[in-house]
Structures are given as structure tokens and as C-alpha cells.
Structure 1
Amino acid sequence: MKKLLPYFFLLGTAMSCDEPAQETTNENVVSESAASPADKVLQKGSSTWFTYEGTVPCADCSGIKTTLQLENRPEKEAREYKLTEVYLGTPDGDRSFESAGLYEVTYGTDGNPGAMVITLLDDQGNPTKHFLQERDAKKFTLLDKNKNKIATDLDYSLTIK
């Protein structure tokens, strides 16, 4: 009888396991503590705008103060941008130019598969400017027209605000 006692214990344990009356999953459960503030902002039907600022070099002025605003709306395929460029210290004083339109996002470059490239488009859908955001970076770097980094020691970056 003592030898059978462990078997009875295992049998009793196995029989006490019961299937739940209704199967539950966590597929649609969103934990409030796990959701970041950005996740809460980007709910369906809402937009948020990210702003990047910096002063990039200029050949015939003291710099171009650049403000780039990018829309992020989850369900929207075509996303909008607003670009303000102020040419500082020109012979005619500071000159401001504004443009707006749509932008495209592509991932990966020849040297960096984790990079993200933002391409600003004009009214006809032609690319006007390219910006590189490397993985986990809080800044965009202006690229040349062929989507390559500009070979210089000067700072062509915009930082998130």
C-alpha cells in the first residue's frame, strides 16, 4: 500500500486539473501600465505631429534654421509634413520659406539596414529632400538627392523637440 501511495497522489492531482469553463485570451487586452503616452495619443482617428529643429549649413548665408513637422496617424497611408526654412543673415535679411505636402518612409540603406529614410514630396509627388533617422536616434540627418550622407564635418541634423 505504501508503494501505491505516490501513484494515487499523482492520479488525484491529474484528475483535479479541470479545463476552464470558457477559454480566455489576452489578444485584445491592453495594459494601461504597458502602454506608453505615445501609444495612447495614437489611437484610431487621431494624429500627432513630431517636430524636428536645427540649423544646417548654408553656402551664402550664416545658416538655415529648419523646422520639420511630421504627422503620424496609424491608419493613414499618406502622411503630411510641414517644413519651415529661415535663411539667416542673407544680404536681404532673414528670409523664410514654408512648404507642406506628403512624405514617404522607407527602411534600410546600403550601410544600415535598420535606418529609416523620410522623403519629402512636392505637389507632383517628386522627392524634394531626404532625411535619415538611424535606429534609436532622436535626430534626422539631411541626405543628398541620391539618399547618401553628405561628405562633410558640418552638422546637417535636426533634433526632435
Structure 2
Amino acid sequence: MPKIPGDVLSFFQRQHFVIISTIDKDSRPHNSCKGIVDITGEGMVYILDLYLKQTFANLKNNPNVSITAVEEGSFRGYSLKGRATIVKRQDLEESLLKKWDEKLAKRISHRVIKNIRQEKTGSLNPETFLPKPMYMVLAKIEEVVDLMPVNIKKELRKYG
């Protein structure tokens, strides 16, 4: 049985970004926006982290991680909890680096289309300024937490 159910897997695959939470050396939480490069039903999540800053430092000292995403309109959301490691670029499969390039192209295309439709998100494409990844975060998921409020779930069940 997969560690990440199919509906949760597809939910995270649709997200443009997620919030990754780590713990610093003083036991304080740190949250950062990151992009998921790949996620599997077996509970493996590859996350891009480009800057070797706080998330990187935190994971070297404490591997506990939470990956969260929420869809505002539907109140649907999940938090994936587990333990993470740093995987250096030279140790990554070429297919993962290719997936990052594909996701980057998709994000730029999405922004351009929104601008054409007058749903302005900004005239720049900040993604074009991102450095090449030096490493990725590999999170091994141990728990999936459904964030939808219980009363909303009950109401949704009534309507099938």
C-alpha cells in the first residue's frame, strides 16, 4: 500500500509551490516556499532548494520536515511529515534534473499565459533568474495529515 494515497499525490503534483517547514538549531520553526520536482506514491518527495541558506542549514542539524500545500477555494490541503536528507547534484539522477527544467518551463509558460489574459502576475519571469540546482531535498514521508476542517468534510460527504 502506498504511503501517499493517489488523491493526495495528484493534489501535490498540481501545486506550483509548497511550504516546507524545518527546525533551526534553537528549535524554532522555519518556513520557506519551494518547488516539488518529483513525488511518488511510495513516499519520496524531491524538493528544489537553490540557495544553501536556512533550510539547508536546518536539515543538516535536524532532518524532521513538513511539506504543506492548501487550495484556498476548496479548503483542501495536506501536510506531509517525514525526514529529509540533502542529495548533491552529482548524486541526482539526470531524470530529476530534467524534471526540474520541465517544471521551470511550465511555470514560465503559466505566467506568460496569465499575463496575456490580463491576469497580471508581474511583467518579469523571476524563474528565469534562478540558479541551477546544486542539490535537492529528499523527504521520506512517514505521515500524511489532511488539513480540511472536519465540518466541511461532513458537508461534502452529503453531496457525494
TM-score strictly above 0.5? no
TM-score (norm 2): 0.29
**Greater RCO, 1 or 2 (C-alpha within 8 Å, sep 6+):** 2
TM-score (norm 1): 0.28
